[in-house]
Every structure is written in C-alpha cells, then in structure tokens.
Structure 1
Amino acid sequence: MASIEPTSNSAPSAPAPVAPKIVNSSCLCGGQVLHFHLMQLDGQIFLWIGGEKLGLDDLHVALPTRFDSLPSVASLRGEVDGNASSLSQKLSRRFGLMVFLSLNVPDIEGEMMKESTRILKDLLEPSA
C-alpha cells in the first residue's frame, strides 16, 4: 500500500491576521482633557481624539503609497485641509499604516501629535 505524502507545490500560507487591539487614554493638553480611543486592526489604525463633547464630526483617512513620500489623504467628514488631514498624514508616514483619524477638538496640534504618537508607539512596538 502506497502512502500519500503532502507535496510542496501548495501556495504559501498567508500571514496570520493580527488580533485587534484597543487602547483608551486621556491627557491634559492646552488646558482641556483630551480622550484618545485607538483601535489597531490588521495593517490599519483608527484613532479618535475628542474632548468632553463626544461625536464623529471629523474623519480623515491617510494611506501610504509607493508613488509619493507623503501618504495620500482623503477627508470623509469635516474640513478638507484642516489639522486632522495633516495629522493623519504625519501618523501614516511615521508608522507606515493606513490611518483613520477623527479629530473632534479645537486646534492644539503639537501636543496632540506628541500624545497620539506616544500611544501608537506603545501599541505598535513590542514590549521589552
């Protein structure tokens, strides 16, 4: 009786999907409390930044491309050329991921960028 052995002609298996991670954080920036809600999905990040007023008044998506050093940005809701558009592009470029960003606070971009970058680094970099 002949035995059947697996052949090596099969297609390579796809990498295992990354389990979603969720991080919630708050900080004091510019004299007001900011809340950060971050979800890491497979190859993409959803980041919601807001104050006491909860909502989704603003939503942008940034996607790195091989054609340009700056990621492409699309405004799905809110100002086309606002701070969220720029912040989503910076985060996408820094981490090489598709970034969905909802920015629901007035202009305090510098401090928000530092805090959101810190949260993303904590989430994306393996803990030592």
Structure 2
Amino acid sequence: MQVIHSRSLNRRLSANYVNGTMEVTVEQAQCSTQIYNFSERLLQQLVHFHALKLTDSVFLWIGTGTANLSSLAVAMTTKFDNIPASASLLGETSDTPSMSLAQKLAKKTGKQIFVSYNLQTDPMLLPLVEKRLIEEIDRYPDKF
C-alpha cells in the first residue's frame, strides 16, 4: 500500500494493488489552524504578538500598530546540524532579528518557524521580545 498526503488538497490518498488492479481511496486529511494573540508593553511601546499555528509549523508576526510584512524569515531543525537552517524570505537578507528569533524558536519547539519582526532594531528591545515570547510558549505550548 502506498499512502500519499497532499497538504495543498487536504486529502489523503491511499493506493492498493489487488489482482493487478489499483484501488484508490481518498480521505479528508486532518488540518488544524489556530490563531493566538497577545501584547506586552516593552520599553515604553506596546508590542503585539500574533501566532498562527499550522499543522507542523508556526507563523509569528511581531510589531506595533499597523500590521505589515517588512521582513520574513524561516528556520527549521535538521538532522545534519544542531543549529537550525534558516533563510530570509522577505526584506533585508541581513535581517538578524527575524532570523535569530526563528532559529531560537525552531530549536526550542522542533517545528518550522516563520518570523516577521516588525520593530525598530534596538539591542535593548530584542532580548525583551525574545524573553516574553519564550514565557508565552512555556505557559501555553499548545498555542504554538
């Protein structure tokens, strides 16, 4: 029996050969999406955190005020290295806050993590954002 899972179609296909004939079964695949939002005042500014939990990944948007997607990075663990593989998908290729957070969170959760960090680059703010995010993940792991 061969099982094929198609995420784009939300279908699970099973193919079986019986007496030289292929029988195909199509089932609805389990798909889950969950949205979780929280905010925190850090260094005199209200920082919003939006998490979109998908089946095997998490998309995080971090920013203030108007939602924009000025940067986007992704990271995931691999069996080849202890440091998660990462890439910048949108914005500056040297966008270290998005990439750094994505790598740390991928290592912590073992999931593929997308991060859009939309705050001013401030060496004092990034550690506070990271700390607050880790606290929330530890408190509500089912949301991430």
Whether the TM-score (by the shorter chain) exceeds 0.5 is: yes
- How many positions carry a matched residue from both structures? 115
Deviations 1:58-113 (A, max 9, x none): 10000110000011011011232321111110010011110000000013111110
Give the strand-richer structure, 1 or 2: 2
Which residue of structure 1 aligns with residue 22 of structure 2? none
Partner of 1:93: 107
Name structure 2 gaps, 5 residues minimum: 4-11, 13-28
Deviation at 1:10, TM superposition (A): 9.5
Taking a change above 3 Å as real, the CA distance of residues 10 and 79 of structure 1, as seen in their structure-2 partners, is: closer
Residue in 2 that maps onto 1:56: 69
- Residues 33 and 118 (structure 1), Cα distance of their counterparts in 2 relative to 1, 3 Å cut: same
Q: CA deviation at 1:122?
A: 3.5
Match of 1:112 among 111, 126, 129: 129
Distance in 1 of aligned mates of 2:90 and 2:140: 26
RMSD: 2.2
**Matched residue SS, 1:112:** helix
User: Which residue identity is paired with 2:68?
Assistant: G
Q: TM-score, normalised by structure 1?
A: 0.79
> Hey, what does 1:45 align to over in structure 2?
58
1:69 has 2:85 as partner: no
CA distance in 1, matches of 2:38, 2:138: 13
Deviations 1:15-35 (A, max 9, x none): x74622111111001111100
2:55 maps to a residue whose letter is D
Closer/same/farther in 2, CA of residues 49 and 10 from structure 1, 3 Å limit: closer
Structure 1 residues 43 and 123 mapped into 2: Cα distance closer, same or farther (>3 Å)?
Answer: farther
More relative contact order, 1 or 2 (CA 8 Å, 6+ apart): 1
Query: How many angstroms apart in 1 are the aligned matches of 2:138 and 2:53?
Result: 12
Aligned residue identity for 2:132? E
1:121 partnered with 2:138? yes
Instruction: Give structure 1 stretches of 5+ with no counterpart.
Output: 1-8
After TM superposition, where is structure 1 displaced by more than 4 Å over at least 4 residues in a row?
none
